[in-house]
Structure 1
Amino acid sequence: RTGDTDTEAESAIAALWREFGRSPDQHVRDRLVLHYAPLVKYVAGRVGTGLPSHVDVSDLVQSGIFGLVDAIEKFDPERGLRFETYAMQRIRGAILDDLRSQDWVPRVIRSRAREVERAHDRLGARLRRTPTDSEVAAELGVSVRELRDLYGQLRLTSVVALDDLVGANTESGPGTAAETLPDEDAVDPATVLVDRDNRRQLAEAIAQLNERDRIVVSLYYFESLTLAEIGRVLGVTESRVSQLHTRAVLRLRAKLLEQAGG
């Protein structure tokens, strides 16, 4: 009976999409929004992980709803993407845009983030490998403990993470993970090559990370584990995973900017 129920639900949502395609009125759109609303709560919860306590997840959900509506109105089934994949990126983008507009990251933290990125960039170019925490700390003139405390503060800036990194070396600005997925029906070969190059460079940058950083990036972004779950996998605390995540994002950013400069 469960299988029959699932099939009926899939048929019903498919019928809604067909109806919306024929006549995109607000009533049908609202029914689609209601159906996919759990995606907003899921994405808002993930984005909210590690943010300061004054950031209300309910506000993130409200911003995400606008992203969901935008996704429904702009979704093109002919591209071959699953709607859920496309919508989650739009929802995430709307939430991040709202956070940026609030300028919720203190200026001093933004400044420190740039300092750490530049240190990673300089050391990576000089050493031709990923620098250790000790080497980064020495470059910044701080202790390893102070550097790790700094990573904890910088987690506020890493929420944009891979969304910005994927498009870090493109003239048109940041892209999203969904926008870099292959489109089998694409008619512009130049666009296909650019997308493939972005994915290749991101994959190469991830491959250059040390093993623990690669594990954190893979589990968080590709396996959708929470920081707490990753901590259990690695046998460390959630706060330590947050530090590792921030460090990995900063290292990825430095590597991609180095590739862009090269």
Structure 2
Amino acid sequence: METQRGAEAEVHALWERYRADHDPEVRERLILHYSPLVKYVAGRVAVGMPASVDHADLVSYGIFGLLDAIEKFDLTKGYKFETYAITRIRGAIIDELRSIDWVPRSVRSKARRLETAMQQLESRLHRSPTEEELAAELDLTVDELQQTLQKISLTSVAALDEVFDAGEGDRVSLVDTLQDLTTVAPDASFEDAETKQRLHEAITRLSDREQTVLGLYYFEGMTLGQVGDVLGVTESRICQIHTKAVLSLRAKLVDRAV
């Protein structure tokens, strides 16, 4: 415990020094200290992505986000740097992935078509549609819908980690909002609080199984494979459930934000 307190005090002292004179040497020490955070975020983004996307590349993209976070972090705000930095690290990774356009256009088109169908069904049903209802809306069989969800799951980064404006020049992603759903910082903007409220309402309209998958994956820190073991289904099936839930949440938030 004493060792941990000493380490925290040392990091705080580094922040105080950097805030005072922006010493490049101090910045390098901060970068070194927080570099494991970049590897963690890159690892989460890499889940379910094609093997052609190299983890080391994701880490290198994330470093730019870490540098941006260090430059812009305000020590006086009272919240943890890690919480602040994760959005910017992930945003830098997603921005770079988008710039190289690694997601096939056909898959993007299918994802948009699914979101539109979900929005239309929820407007009529006032709840999250079942796979049978969604398949019928899209004129697909349930098997065809599940195959489509499986393909889109490889691009979950383009759905769940979608970074969008949240007012006052700040940017958030659905995954950050999910992971931080239970708290609202004292200085949180009205838009941030409203986003969390909308997301909470959207989650309650998902099926019980979809809520369980999101809870185990985002709040309990399980892998999709581990979630499959708990629920007694394959990891592939969990990917499908996860993708449908994520697209449904994104459709709700984007629809309300327009």
Do they superpose with TM above 0.5? yes
Give the TM-score taking structure 1 as reference length: 0.87
User: What is the percentage of aligned positions where both structures have the same residue?
Assistant: 51
Q: Distance in 2 between matches of 1:201 and 1:87?
A: 23
Q: Give the CA deviation at 1:197.
A: 1.6
Q: Give the CA deviation at 1:224.
A: 3.1
What residue number does 1:75 align with?
A: 73
2:250 is equivalent to residue 253 of structure 1: yes
What residue number does 2:215 align with?
A: 218
Q: SS of the residue aligned with 2:156?
A: coil
What residue number does 1:63 align with?
A: 61
What residue number does 1:117 align with?
A: 115
Q: SS of the residue aligned with 1:130?
A: coil
Q: Is the 8 A contact 2:165 2:171 kept in 1?
A: yes
What residue number does 2:16 align with?
A: 18
Q: Distance in 2 between matches of 1:174 and 1:27?
A: 29
Q: Check 1:29–1:173 CA distance in 2 against 1; reply closer, same or farther (3 A cut).
A: closer
What residue number does 2:6 align with?
A: 8
Q: Is the 8 A contact 2:38 2:62 kept in 1?
A: yes
Q: Is the 8 A contact 1:133 1:144 kept in 2?
A: yes
Q: Distance in 1 between matches of 2:221 and 2:239?
A: 15
Note the alpha carbon deviations across 1:229-257, whole angstroms, 9 max, x for none: 32223222222221111100111123334
| RMSD between superposed Cα atoms in Å | 2.5
Q: Is the 8 A contact 2:48 2:156 kept in 1?
A: no
What residue number does 1:37 align with?
A: 35
2:206 is equivalent to residue 209 of structure 1: yes
Q: Check 1:162–1:81 CA distance in 2 against 1; reply closer, same or farther (3 A cut).
A: farther
Note the alpha carbon deviations across 1:137-172, whole angstroms, 9 max, x for none: 11112111111111011123321444548758x797
Gaps of 5+ in 1: none
Q: Distance in 1 between matches of 2:234 and 2:225?
A: 7
Q: Distance in 1 between matches of 2:255 and 2:41?
A: 30
2:180 is equivalent to residue 182 of structure 1: no
Q: SS of the residue aligned with 1:175?
A: strand
AA aligned to 2:99 is: S
Note the alpha carbon deviations across 1:84-113, whole angstroms, 9 max, x for none: 111111111111111111111101111111
Q: How many residues align?
A: 253
Q: Is the 8 A contact 1:165 1:252 kept in 2?
A: no
Q: Is the 8 A contact 1:164 1:174 kept in 2?
A: no
Q: SS of the residue aligned with 1:159?
A: helix
Q: Distance in 2 between matches of 1:171 and 1:73?
A: 18
Note the alpha carbon deviations across 1:199-218, whole angstroms, 9 max, x for none: 11111111111111112222
- Return the match for 2:239 from 242, 255, 261: 242
- Return the match for 2:140 from 125, 139, 142: 142
Q: Distance in 2 between matches of 1:35 and 1:69?
A: 12
- Return the match for 1:105 from 103, 106, 118: 103
AA aligned to 1:33 is: I
Q: Distance in 2 between matches of 1:142 and 1:195?
A: 37
Q: Distance in 2 between matches of 1:258 and 1:54?
A: 33
